[in-house]
Structure 1
Amino acid sequence: MPWLALKIDHSNALVSPMEVLFTTQCRLSTPPTIASSMRRKNTTSWSPPDDLQFALDPNGEKYDAVLEGEVMDDLQTELAIAPRKKKSTVSKWTGAAFQEISLRSLGLVIQLNHSSMHCDNPVPSHASFVILHTNGIHSVAVQYCGCTRAIPHHIQLLRRRLYPASQVSVKTCATFDLLRLLHKMSLSTKASTYDFYRCLEKLTTNTGIDTPKSRYRALFRMILQWRHLQMLKWAGVAHQDGGISSIQPGQLAVRCPSCPHPGINLVSGWNHVPDELKFLFTMIICMDANFRLKNQLVSNYSQDPGLGIGWAYMVPRKPYEEYVLSRASEEDISTCVGLQALAKADTKYNAGLRYTGCNITVCGRSEMILPLGVGNLQKGERYCNMDYIFGSTLQFVLVQVVLISYDIACQWFINLFKRIDEHWPNHIKPRPDMTFIPAIPKLHEPMHKAAGHEVFSLNFIRGCGFTDCECVERVWAPHNALANATKTQGPGSRQDVLDDHFGFWNWEKYISMGSTLLRRYKAAVKERNLQVEGHRGLTESLDRPLVNKWEKICAEWDMDTFPKSKQNPYQLDGTGMSFHRMDLADEEAKYLARGGTFLHATSASMFINMGLDLEETHELLPIYIPGLLQHHTDHPPPQPKSSNSEDMLLWLPSRISQPHRSRICTAGLAVIEERLRDAQLPDALENIRKILKIKSRLIQFKNKNIRGQRDGTRSRAVIDRVHDRARYSAEKYRDARAAKYALAGPGKWEEIFHVLEDSDIRGYQDPNRLRQRVGRRGVLEDDQKDRAKEVPMGDKEFTLFNEERKRRDGTGETRRTLSWIWLTTTASSAEDDKDDILRSEWARSRARAARGKEEVMLLKEEMRRVLAFLAWKADWWRQRGRIKDNIARDAAEGLRAFAQVQAALQDALAAHFRGLWRAPLEETTPRSGHIPSVQNPNVNRDGSDDDDEADDDDDDDDSGGDDYDGDDGHYEGLEVSETQHA
């Protein structure tokens, strides 16, 4: 390696002084008088040539060119051409075996600050000088240069890629390779420095004999400094005037390239766009706390102040803790649901802890941690802690609208503006022109009270797309592993380590932005097309005046600001039932209360009348189907399933095959049955829909009002009878459709009356059935074992009850689709105007379609913003590369080279992302350079629909087509040149 210089002093073997410099880049330099004595095979450049007591260990795994010599088969060949040979560590022959031995014991000396071994005034290092490297702990002898041109000792070590643990009397150094390996390993695996040092000890000796003196504390100090220096280097601190003294709070943080940054990646006029496009410039912030990243009362800030607290992600300690202390007596009152946020806000579980956890703010779209968005929790998740990091983050937000997601936003947001005015420090107060929209993450929403929480639902907030705001949980998941390592660290060291890991998380998100946005875009286009088409079908099945009325209610709700006072289109009444729609259920309940029972939907008198009609109809068979007897003789019918009367075949024209129908039946009889079947199909579907509505109301009534086993069993019996009625209607539809197919064959009528599957028979409030997860081959998951034990239902059976959805399954609201039975043209009736459930479901369907459109638009805009940000960042680094004349030449060259490398990296990322996003970006081709308005023509400009685009997940060239394909226009995309940036 370039920093290694070896000096061997064996006065008995060498007559004259010898200088040896043998590295990876250099060749052996030796006086000719002694060259012949070294021309022996299987020797090294530093070992006595005629001493048989020493030999080379043939195992090359532990050899490292930094600390040891190189094997040479022939010195003359090595001087001419330098082929790479197998490298080995030093071993001593004991007479029976090889024994490893240190280079120091052989007289190895590393001379610093000289291209050769010779120094006129060498200064010896500490007697117990140790170098930590990737292959173990090495005891070596080092000599500093004491010549007139000498430089400080620690600089001499750094130039040889040795990082000293101190600057006065250096006893421990670590190679740059070791620090780099430890740094990347800890970031990737969350392994602690202590575990890594234990591994080094085992690499050095795994016998427990001659274990080196522990240098763990020295390694811990070095890796802390290494982390800090790397963050300073990547942030370009050395390139700015003033250096470290000019660092601003949050400057070392890796910024989100997809977030809106005015003057960097936003086009001119972004703040004057129409209302329907303002959501494109909304900042989405997610906030939450973590109770695993604790910190014990170890050390203090006087002894461990930290190297850069407040320079990246952790907020400055003093102003933050002063504000929290001033609100120490504040009582956080729960008005909705406790959750863990307030449950642990005032408990005694923090004994022996300096901090009980961390709170954080994250970008809701990119999942990147925001600058100065992390704080420590002193006593649980209190409002004062969350307020401060929220206000601290807002200082980096320059747009006007901010959507803030918090799992208890329904409580925290109530008095937020009052706390801002009365308690917040001036340096974190938001700008007066800012607008805040509160939201609850989608996974946490079902745990809240249902009443009045639609205003906090991301499913109904305009402009949020498919954002679930659960990204904070995804941030905490990998960082929870840091708890064991950071809980026993000093306060300053812990915050430095957390800053470093948060920066690594952001960098990983930064460089993977291309594949992430592309994957989301493909999924969003599919989901958008599905939701838009489903909503269109539902809308067309309803009366236009009714749809217009509901559309007006939804539009007023969307335009209303928080707290909303307009009519809530998504909210159901207290009982969720109207009297005139509950008459059938009430009659059955009253009849059951009087002791009566219903064996079937058909009453006894109706059953007798139907029997008489069947008897009369049976006598008419020879008249209307005179050839039936001969047909049975020529073509024996299949035997019935049983001798029961209900299993006997009724010989209608549809039961007879087409070649024989005209010969057996009277003229026109098949046409009459087909017309009756045409009426029977929509009637059967309407009956199914009515029964599903009744059942959904009964279930709501049961869940709200019925308590106890006896009443619950009775109410369940009523619901089961309704279930039987639905099964009868479903079988009626299937029989009618089979008959229609036999009479008319395939045709356009199948586009309206589809095959009725069990999964299609569900209410419009029920989510899609869960997809069964498949585990490893030969291994069943727990839920699969339970399902395997279930008895499969018959072909005519189905369930109308919702599946049990676990926490990881979510609510299914974002990607829920309506069954086709609700999309037929016969779904509307005069009662729909008063049906609050249907109105609520239509509004929810409208919201799902709108969120799908917004998601595609947001992703296109984020792609454009990322490319603009990368171009700006590349220019930023090029400007940093213009070094002033007052900097030393060697430092200026390094700074200039590093800036050029970083600029090239930003350009390479931009080119890579642009290639991935070619298809989506083609739809936002620059035209005028201004923010577009919503227009009617589609983006494809060919008049064709694009609902089938981006169906193939494996095709990177899939296009999503236009973003608005309904009555409310089309989105053109932000029209800005790829090179236009601030």
Structure 2
Amino acid sequence: MKSWLPMADCVLDELVRRDGRADFRPFDRCLSCPDQSRARDAVIRCTSCDPGYLECEECVKERHPRQACHRLQRWNGRYFEVTSLKEIGLVVQLGHADNSRCSNPRPAPDDFCIIDVNGHHNVKVMFCGCDQAGAAGTPYEQLLRRDLFASTITEPGTAYTFRLLEHYHVQSLQGKVSMYDYYESLERLTDKTGTKIVQDRYKSFMRVVAQWRYLKRLKRAGRAHDPSGIAGTKQGELAVPCPACPHPDINLPPNWEDVSDDLKYLYMLCVAIDACFRLKRRDVSSKEKDPILGSGWGYFVEDEGYQAIIGGYGSQDEVSTCSGFAAMTKANLKYAKGYAASGVGAVVCARHEFMLANGVGDTQLGEKWVNMDVIFVSSMIRHLRVRKIISYDIACQWSKGLLTRVSKFPSHLQIPLPAGDLKYVIPKLHWASHERINHSKFSLNFVPGAARTDGEGVERVWWGSQSAANSTKQMGPGGRQGYLEDVWGHSNWTKIINLAELLRRRYILARKMAALQAVAFKDMSAGLLEENTARWEADVSAWEADMNLPDPYIVVKTGPSESQIKQTIAKEETAKTAQPGHIAKDKVSDLGFVVTALELEESQARVQAEAVKARSDESKLPQLLELRTSFRHRVQKFQALQATFTPGILALLAVDDAARTDIEEIEDIRLGIPSQIEAQKRATACPADILSIEARLRDAQCRDALQDLRNQLHAQHRLWTLKKLHVRYQGPNTRARTDISDQGVRVQRAAQKYRRARRAKLALVGPGPWEGEFRVLLDSDIRAVQDDDPDAVAERARKRKRPGPSEGYKTTSWIWRGGDSDESGSYEPVRVEWCKLRARVCRWMEEERLLPEEMRRVLAFLAFQEEEWKGRIGRRTDVDETLQEGLSAYAYKQAAMRRHLRGSFRQVWLPLIKAAGVELGPDWAPVPGYVPRKIRRRYQHKVTLEIVEEEIVEGENSPEDSPEEEEGAAAYRRMVEADLADVDP
């Protein structure tokens, strides 16, 4: 840019020079006239052609018989003014491919308008009415054969060029350009001043674009080649399928149903279900005014049947009691007023993020079960033979009674859903906001066969679709469905183009992580007793076979709670009172005295927190005064009890200034709880029974405070997620932030209670094995279970790595791993961490084995489609020779496209497959007619390998590395370098 800046004056001059005749100024006579002695004045310039000399009107007219949408300018002696081909006498004759003159031309309306990418054009058009009219077709057909799409069938007055429709089609899909803005830009290209009247063709443009989208989808699905025509289109036939997913009889081996149980995951379909409430539609227009073209032929379910089913269901209340995302619990309240559709629900391919055929439906009042049930069943009709993993953020609730609900649907939707062939899971990020009890069976980290699927792909699909939300919100039912169908079709096809590189990157990472996690698991197991790991292996294997067994991935809490400890001590004290000679000290028991002390300590913390707030907000002083007064009164009553139960401590407090009650800030007083007394004085100042009771209660307090901390962190994360997904506008955002702030106070209160209880326990019993369960709580430890270590996140950010949470990479805070030792002497947290590490190894190994199979399926699917397109050639016998040639040409082109994709995909993967030693089957055979070539993925591939390389370098030669780890990293580096060498520069 700096080197260009000195040239700015020169460039500006050249831009202005073009407003005159520039270098062609000396040529005032037309150089195109055949007889230069009689050459006419050169006054016309075509701005659509390449720059050149000016020409006369006749020469321009003769040169533009097939370029009726070019822009002309006329030199009036001072400047160029706008003119047109119509003004200089150009007539566009249709129906005569050889440009011969029509003996009986039929004029189109005088204001006939053709709209092209460069704006509106008034054109003189003549239709054929001579003896060739039968072959030329109707005026509508004559326009089509000239690449002009008329706005109406009878007496057309407006036509759009195919070039324009194709241009807008791509812009709307890739750039999500709204139809209104695009049309407005055409009017600006026609007249930038706003002083001329431009014919308003916006409504016809909307209609033609809808028809164009519809026809393009039909053409790409091969409906023009089918003798049954458009009417024979089947449900979901216009959708672009995922070639990497299992499709029986297309891309699966013949024996796929007979493989052993440990390999069945290779032929399992993973789908994800979710709803997007951004893709709303206002209650405008109607199906009569804006009909749905090809309802049920693509991604949306068939509309009439869908509406008939959900119309029989009323409101539903509290359909989910587990998930914190409130998608279902607010189904009847969520921004539904004034909308015909509050959003869309969808079923997508979870591993490759393809929209599934008949896997989308409108939601009317939130995300109700009936909506999602119908959408799910409709999308699964063509996938009945394969096993399925079904990911849904409320799968734990939705899966209950699904089969019963489906049994009440119409007969064509009562599909078989064998319970043994379905596995319900919760997306990884959403799973963290569910309960832990009995929820490991819904975790993609622990379910066998899930590989490294995260289930969150549907959210990424919504991210790619939400840019279309503003455009579709104001559309009618037909226009909206047509546009969204087109968007998702384009998205699916784009993913096919990038599929080889996507799977390749995943495979490189899977090979690395499978090796590293296996080494880590081996090292951890080597440091444990073999009988323990054998028992744990048996337990987790049994759980994987029957997930109704005890969950091996949660810490079994063997320690009693504070309430249970109080009950136990109460029974013990009751037994003491029945002994002969027992005399009660007071109307309060020893347990009651200690409990009063701990409750007073909790109140003191509350008053201290309010005092901090009052320092910055004096309006809270009256409230603080009442709290202090009440607390002072309770302290005085407690000191009266101390005189009875711990008189020695009361004597120590009498000479301690920190224990005085006649101070203003009474919340800072030393209460004199036994654990607060110095160790050398505690034994003589406090009875042993009181010390024992406090020590037992402090132990339970630590346990309960940790559980409360986990609960509060869990609730805080749920509030953050709810705000992010569902809260809009300033007022609701402010209230949501207030709720989150209040929840943060509760988190800190629980953390402070744990720290007080731990300090007291340490003072009472001293250091010991109990510190393995109750560790020192740092600020960095106070984080949700799905949050990574903040220091690790900061380190990755510093190295420009993505810091996203993942079970496969993250470090969970120790507060989520707390537990007690069992009878074998091992720690529950160790058992759980061992099980989790085993699950990580299994999932990465599944991923490493699954990815080559998915790539093989892609190659087989493309080969199937190639043969399918070849088989369409000549199927129609009711067409003339010209149409037959067009049908054959299109089929050959589509077949060639699949063949070249298959060849390039094989070229991308073959070096990696050979390096990994994977057995090559017939699907990996060379592609006939494909010539290997340099492929444009050097940069992308290099960046991917740089990321992997960086991770290897970071882990190499560190003091903590075992020889096995160093050897594994070195071997992987050699594989990466060899792989990079196989890529053409």
The CA deviation string for residues 632-670 of structure 1, in whole angstroms up to 9 with x for no partner, is xxxxxxxxxxxxxxxxxxxxxxxxxxxxxxxxxxxxxxx
The aligned residue for residue 979 of structure 2 is 957
Q: Percent identity?
A: 35
Pair 1:857 & 2:856 matched: no
What secondary structure, in the 3-state scheme, does the structure 2 residue paired with 1:852 have?
helix
For 1:724 and 1:467, locate their aligned partners in 2 and report how far apart those are by CA, in whole Å: 48
The aligned residue for residue 936 of structure 1 is none
The aligned residue for residue 246 of structure 1 is 232
For 1:855 and 1:172, locate their aligned partners in 2 and report how far apart those are by CA, in whole Å: 56
Aligned counterpart in structure 1 of residue 497 of structure 2, from 482, 502, 511: 511
For 1:486 and 1:378, locate their aligned partners in 2 and report how far apart those are by CA, in whole Å: 16
The CA deviation string for residues 324-382 of structure 1, in whole angstroms up to 9 with x for no partner, is 01223554522213524213311273222211111100001110000000001122110
Structure 1 position 149, deviation (Å) = 1.4
The aligned residue for residue 902 of structure 2 is 910
1:467-506 matches, within 5 Å, as 467-506=453-492
Change (3 A) 1:372 1:40: same
The aligned residue for residue 63 of structure 1 is 48
Change (3 A) 1:768 1:462: farther
Pair 1:715 & 2:754 matched: yes
What secondary structure, in the 3-state scheme, does the structure 2 residue paired with 1:447 have?
coil
Change (3 A) 1:124 1:177: same
1:28-427 matches, within 5 Å, as 41-42=30-31, 52=41, 55-57=43-45, 62-63=47-48, 89-112=71-94, 113-116=96-99, 118-150=101-133, 151-152=136-137, 153-331=139-317, 333-337=319-323, 339-347=325-333, 349-423=335-409, 425-427=411-413
For 1:845 and 1:774, locate their aligned partners in 2 and report how far apart those are by CA, in whole Å: 23
For 1:293 and 1:168, locate their aligned partners in 2 and report how far apart those are by CA, in whole Å: 36
Change (3 A) 1:572 1:707: same
Structure 1 position 49, deviation (Å) = 7.3
Change (3 A) 1:769 1:534: farther
**Aligned residues of 1:576 and 1:697 also touching (Cα < 8 A):** no
What secondary structure, in the 3-state scheme, does the structure 2 residue paired with 1:341 have?
coil
Structure 1 position 597, deviation (Å) = 8.7
The aligned residue for residue 869 of structure 1 is 861
**Aligned residues of 1:767 and 1:813 also touching (Cα < 8 A):** no
TM-score normalised by the chain length of structure 2:
0.68
Pair 1:546 & 2:568 matched: no
For 2:551 and 2:147, locate their aligned partners in 1 and report how far apart those are by CA, in whole Å: 67
Counterpart of 1:813 in structure 2: which amino acid?
E
For 2:518 and 2:173, locate their aligned partners in 1 and report how far apart those are by CA, in whole Å: 43
**Which sections of structure 1, spanning at least 5 residues, go unmatched?**
1-37, 606-693, 730-757, 785-807, 821-827, 931-943, 960-982
For 1:434 and 1:104, locate their aligned partners in 2 and report how far apart those are by CA, in whole Å: 72
**Aligned residues of 1:528 and 1:852 also touching (Cα < 8 A):** yes
Larger relative contact order (CA 8 Å, sep ≥ 6): 1
For 1:832 and 1:447, locate their aligned partners in 2 and report how far apart those are by CA, in whole Å: 33
The CA deviation string for residues 244-282 of structure 1, in whole angstroms up to 9 with x for no partner, is 121110001101001101111100111111111111111
For 1:408 and 1:565, locate their aligned partners in 2 and report how far apart those are by CA, in whole Å: 19
What secondary structure, in the 3-state scheme, does the structure 1 residue paired with 2:429 have?
coil
For 2:124 and 2:836, locate their aligned partners in 1 and report how far apart those are by CA, in whole Å: 76
Change (3 A) 1:950 1:236: farther
The aligned residue for residue 430 of structure 1 is 416
Structure 1 position 816, deviation (Å) = 3.5
What secondary structure, in the 3-state scheme, does the structure 2 residue paired with 1:174 have?
strand
For 2:441 and 2:206, locate their aligned partners in 1 and report how far apart those are by CA, in whole Å: 50
Pair 1:567 & 2:550 matched: yes
The aligned residue for residue 848 of structure 1 is 840
Counterpart of 2:502 in structure 1: which amino acid?
T
Change (3 A) 1:697 1:156: same
**Aligned residues of 1:356 and 1:378 also touching (Cα < 8 A):** yes
Aligned counterpart in structure 2 of residue 814 of structure 1, from 794, 808, 826: 808
Change (3 A) 1:370 1:322: same
Structure 1 position 573, deviation (Å) = 3.0
Structure 1 position 463, deviation (Å) = 0.8
The aligned residue for residue 893 of structure 1 is 885
Counterpart of 2:808 in structure 1: which amino acid?
T
For 2:70 and 2:31, locate their aligned partners in 1 and report how far apart those are by CA, in whole Å: 11
**Aligned residues of 2:270 and 2:391 also touching (Cα < 8 A):** yes
Change (3 A) 1:309 1:709: closer
Change (3 A) 1:840 1:197: same
Change (3 A) 1:251 1:335: same
Aligned length: 750
The aligned residue for residue 643 of structure 2 is none
**Aligned residues of 2:341 and 2:364 also touching (Cα < 8 A):** yes
The aligned residue for residue 611 of structure 2 is none
For 1:768 and 1:949, locate their aligned partners in 2 and report how far apart those are by CA, in whole Å: 30
For 2:842 and 2:862, locate their aligned partners in 1 and report how far apart those are by CA, in whole Å: 30
What secondary structure, in the 3-state scheme, does the structure 2 residue paired with 1:395 have?
helix
For 1:124 and 1:225, locate their aligned partners in 2 and report how far apart those are by CA, in whole Å: 26
Change (3 A) 1:575 1:177: farther
What secondary structure, in the 3-state scheme, does the structure 1 residue paired with 2:861 have?
helix
Structure 1 position 765, deviation (Å) = 11
Change (3 A) 1:496 1:954: farther
For 1:260 and 1:597, locate their aligned partners in 2 and report how far apart those are by CA, in whole Å: 68
For 2:307 and 2:351, locate their aligned partners in 1 and report how far apart those are by CA, in whole Å: 30
For 1:528 and 1:45, locate their aligned partners in 2 and report how far apart those are by CA, in whole Å: 78
The CA deviation string for residues 920-969 of structure 1, in whole angstroms up to 9 with x for no partner, is 43346547889xxxxxxxxxxxxx9866554489758279xxxxxxxxxx
For 1:407 and 1:831, locate their aligned partners in 2 and report how far apart those are by CA, in whole Å: 37
What secondary structure, in the 3-state scheme, does the structure 2 residue paired with 1:228 have?
helix
Counterpart of 1:136 in structure 2: which amino acid?
G
**Aligned residues of 1:253 and 1:313 also touching (Cα < 8 A):** yes
**Which sections of structure 2, spanning at least 5 residues, go unmatched?**
1-26, 570-593, 599-645, 647-671, 683-700, 713-744, 769-778, 815-819, 924-965
What secondary structure, in the 3-state scheme, does the structure 2 residue paired with 1:252 have?
coil
Structure 1 position 303, deviation (Å) = 2.2
For 1:696 and 1:56, locate their aligned partners in 2 and report how far apart those are by CA, in whole Å: 90
Structure 1 position 422, deviation (Å) = 3.1
**Aligned residues of 2:427 and 2:456 also touching (Cα < 8 A):** yes
Structure 1 position 211, deviation (Å) = 3.3
Counterpart of 2:110 in structure 1: which amino acid?
A
Structure 1 position 168, deviation (Å) = 1.1
Change (3 A) 1:813 1:212: same
Change (3 A) 1:352 1:48: farther
The CA deviation string for residues 281-300 of structure 1, in whole angstroms up to 9 with x for no partner, is 11111000111111122221
For 2:796 and 2:532, locate their aligned partners in 1 and report how far apart those are by CA, in whole Å: 47
Change (3 A) 1:559 1:773: same
**Aligned residues of 1:165 and 1:171 also touching (Cα < 8 A):** yes
**Aligned residues of 1:534 and 1:818 also touching (Cα < 8 A):** no
Counterpart of 2:198 in structure 1: which amino acid?
P
Structure 1 position 542, deviation (Å) = 0.2
Structure 1 position 481, deviation (Å) = 1.8
For 1:764 and 1:99, locate their aligned partners in 2 and report how far apart those are by CA, in whole Å: 70
What secondary structure, in the 3-state scheme, does the structure 2 residue paired with 1:339 have?
coil
For 2:454 and 2:548, locate their aligned partners in 1 and report how far apart those are by CA, in whole Å: 25
What secondary structure, in the 3-state scheme, does the structure 1 residue paired with 2:154 have?
coil
